[in-house]
Amino acid sequence: MKWPILLDEIETIDSYKRFGKVTRVIGLMIESKGPESSIGDVCYIHVGSGRKKQRIAAEVVGFREQHVLLMPFSTIQDISPGCIVEATGKPFEIKVGMNLIGKVLDSLGRPLDGSVLPKGLRSISIEREPPNPLLRPPIHEPVEVGIRLIDSLLTVGKGQRVGIFAGSGVGKSTLLGMIARNTNADLNVIALIGERGREVREFIERDLGPEGLARSIVVVATSDQPALMRIKGAYTATAIAEYFRDKGMNVMLMMDSVTRVAMAQREVGLAIGEPPTTKGYTPSVFAILPKLLERTGTNECGTITAFYTVLVDGDDMNEPIADTVRGILDGHFVLERSLANRGQYPAINVLKSISRVMNYIITPEHKTAAERFRHLLSVYINSEDLINIGGYKRGSSKEIDEAIRYYPKLLSFLKQDTHEKFTREESIDALLHLVHSG
């Protein structure tokens, strides 16, 4: 570093260390007198004495009267009134770089297996503003996800953000794993938030597999982690994806599930005394969701295509989180248990799903074929009950006759085995061929 620069650094350096003291611990929340800090700053709480001395990282989540409200990143058993609180004056940072590819990390960006981080990484803050909407290039090019029905009937664009709405056990993890293995995106960043430990292992070993992991970075915050860590997991994954987007890459971000992030935020909100609104969700939940989901998409360097899973009980698509998320994103895919029960995997209900970008990025020929496919399928589905009870007489309607004739082909087009892979060209060719097959 040159001398004048060093002098500048010295001019602006903050040579004060700011300290405070713990006054109360209420449930998940620690209240302290001081230090001077702002929301989102990391503080260290010094606990124990002598050899057992350690510092616990915590985040400023609010203020009450003259007190600072802190939430720790780990469990809080050793914290007591009088413990010293040291301010760092900055939000949480993680280390990121190319060498993270293939790694499984915790919410704070540390390898989950306890190994040390590789060298050559850079520190970045996990909080960031979404790209300026006026500087965002429009989505103009499809991304290949390698799922036939998506690439042909629900084409996703590079930088598009899609919600995957589903109950449990209908094939979300399997689908995300398939996308991670099959896509032509440069890199996957996968956030597993609020899952049980067993599910995480299953996802990494079975759904993603070694070939998927080799082109992914996985961030894990299991359900037993403190609420704040589950929230951080979502931010950390998003920040990692942003880092690679700024390097000009086309990144695929998958977050399973955004509902669990919202639930964690609700826990924090209730603990700091926010009023509960719909379904107990606090106002901050509806404030952070758009901020988090708007960070992905395109910017002037690269793209982040994002899939956010949303848990829906039964078919309640109007549940507050589902409703909010659907409004923010540029498309939603609905996975249905009734399809899964019939063995129709991936269990995406094409007629209830939409990609809002599709028609801007595909050829007219492709568009016409996709519309015809949807039409044939909807004609069949609308008369399915009638057909099944034998109440439909062949010849009564040309349209229904045609749909019945096509249905077996439509159905086998929609199905895809876990280890089958199709390129975008193959999927579109198959679609064009199918709808003109008579």
Ligand X SMILES: Nc1ncnc2c1ncn2[C@@H]1O[C@H](COP(=O)(O)OP(=O)(O)O)[C@@H](O)[C@H]1O
Among 75, 80, 99, 168, contact with ligand X (rule: CB under 6 A): 168
Contact between 112 and 106 under an 8 Å Cβ cutoff? The reply is yes
Q: Which is nearer to Mg ion, 293 or 311 (CB)?
A: 311
Q: Which two tokens stand for residue 395?
A: 């010849």
170 binds ligand X (CB under 6 A): yes
Within positions 415 to 434, which residues make up the interface with ligand X, using CB under 6 A? 416-418
Among 103, 148, 161, 172, contact with ligand X (rule: CB under 6 A): 172
Q: Can you spell out the DSSP letters for 45-88?
A: EEES-GGG-EEEEEEEEEEETTEEEEEESS--TT--TT-EEEEE
Q: Which is nearer to ligand X, 73 or 345 (CB)?
A: 345
Alpha-carbon distance 139 to 357, whole Å? 7
Q: How far is the CB of 415 from ligand X (least distance, A)?
A: 8
Q: Which is nearer to Mg ion, 47 or 200 (CB)?
A: 200
208 binds ligand X (CB under 6 A): no
Task: Please work out the total of residues on this chain that contact ligand X, with binding judged by CB under 6 A.
Answer: 13
Among 32, 107, 152, 173, contact with ligand X (rule: CB under 6 A): 173
Q: Which stretches does DSSP call E strand in 65-215?
A: 67-72, 84-91, 93-96, 104-106, 122-125, 161-166, 187-193
Within positions 316 to 355, which residues make up the interface with ligand X, using CB under 6 A? 345-346
Site string for Mg ion, 157-176 (x = CB under 5 A): ----------------x---
Alpha-carbon distance 101 to 111, whole Å? 11
176, 133, 127, 166: CA torsion to nearest 10? -30
Site string for ligand X, 115-154 (x = CB under 6 A): ----------------------------------------
Q: Which is nearer to ligand X, 79 or 414 (CB)?
A: 414
169 binds ligand X (CB under 6 A): yes
- Number of Cβ within a 10 Å radius of residue 366: 19
Q: Which is nearer to ligand X, 58 or 254 (CB)?
A: 254
308 binds ligand X (CB under 6 A): no
Positive or negative, the CA dihedral 199, 203, 206, 210 is negative
- Taking every pair of Cα atoms in the chain, the longest distance, rounded to a whole number of angstroms, is 91
Alpha-carbon distance 430 to 420, whole Å? 14
Contact residues for ligand X, defined by CB under 6 A: 166, 168-174, 345-346, 416-418
